[in-house]
Homo-oligomer: A and B are copies of this chain.
Amino acid sequence: MADSKPSADDSNPSAAQQRRLQMADIARLAGVSTSTVSRALAGSKLVSEETRVRIMELARSLKYTINIGAQNLRMKQNRTIGVVIPYDHNTRQHLSDPFFLGMLGSLADALTELGFDMLVSRVDADELDAAAAPFDTGRVIGIVLIGQWRHHDQLNQLAARHVPIVVWGAQLPQQLYCTVGGDNVTGGELAVDHLLAEGRRRIAFFGDINLPEVGLRYAGYCRALQRAGVGIDPELLVPVSFLPSGGQQAVEELLRRGVAFDAIFAGSDLLAMMSINAMREHGLYVPGQVAVVGYDDIELSSYFHPPLTTIRQPIREAGRALVTSLLELIEGREAPSQQLPTTLVVRSSSRTV
């Protein structure tokens, strides 16, 4: 049934779609060869002004567009970038993290601006090999991966296979792949310096420090405390799951432990917000009794009550940086990992007044 004459597919009565126009049709209608049409549409100088205009006119009036698949195949080119967001197999977690979604938006904007298409896929984080599938099958010429998690080794393997890939995340030792990420250590320092300046001394840290980025933020936390001559109390480190109830659990664990604290530095804005809510339920006031600093500066942080002090990750710049690094890689050039500056955004949640 394939390889039949190029007749309309009338074997399928329901699909009343007229056969798609192709270059040969335009050529026939214009009384020229397909080569001429191809050249005309490409704006080649090899075809006379007159014919070119005529053909373009014709194509436009018939709403003919070149079949990109065929063109790509022939030209061995492609202007599609893959964006992969791993998901956790166990929690079957949906794509709802506001920071990741924001990054997706930022990448969409950056790619659109440069005339690239964006192919989004989700893969099981435990099968990160699959992240390269759109590249292996030739659908995309490179991949941006959002969500480094704990998959350093698998990412290294991809890079070793020469898959052009750029990862949003932390720069780690023995890293073969290119990362773009925020300056997490400085981010941690900024947060803690600020809290110290506000007179806080018992600063809890909420986050899973096994995740590279969070680990670095904790390192910044420690460094700032040490520099200020404030001891680091391991009791103040509270590991937090990424579940919606994480913030509540963390606050309750802290209370259960009976450790005194007058501030929280949370690994994400979402976590900070959940924590503030949990504390409110327990009669703890922010910032009066506990000052809170979040991380990311997602859009809603400024609308929160109290408006959230946070470490801003430059998400628009991040999108652009990820894309430009990837394009370097694709061109066969070096793309050094880079850290984007993080900044402290002071709002009410941490102000002692």
**Which residues in A have some Cβ–Cβ distance to B below 8 Å?**
2, 12, 14-18, 20, 63, 65-70, 72-73, 75-76, 78, 80, 85, 94-96, 98, 101-102, 104-106, 108-109, 112, 117-122, 133-134, 136-139, 161-162, 270, 273-274, 276-277, 280, 299-300, 303-307, 316, 331-333
Report B-chain residues with C-beta under 8 Å of the C-beta of A139.
68-69, 117
Number of copies of chain A assembled together: 2
* Shortest beta-carbon distance from A134 to chain B in Å: 7
Residue of B nearest to A14 (CB): B332
Contact partner, A85, options B20, B108, B306, Cβ 8 Å = B108
Chain B residues with Cβ under 8 A from A65's Cβ?
133, 136-137
- Return A95 CB to nearest CB of chain B, in Å: 3
Tell whether, in the assembled complex, residue A109 and residue B137 are in contact, meaning their CB atoms are under 8 Å apart: no
Distance between A124 CB and nearest chain B CB, rounded to angstroms: 10
- Asked if A94 contacts B101 (CB within 8 A), the reply is no
Bound together, the chains give a CA A162 to CA B119 distance in angstroms of 24
A119 near B121 with CB under 8 A, answer: no
Kindly report which residue of chain B lies nearest to residue A122, judged by CB atoms.
B112
User: What's the Cα separation between A120 and B104 when bound, in Å?
Assistant: 10
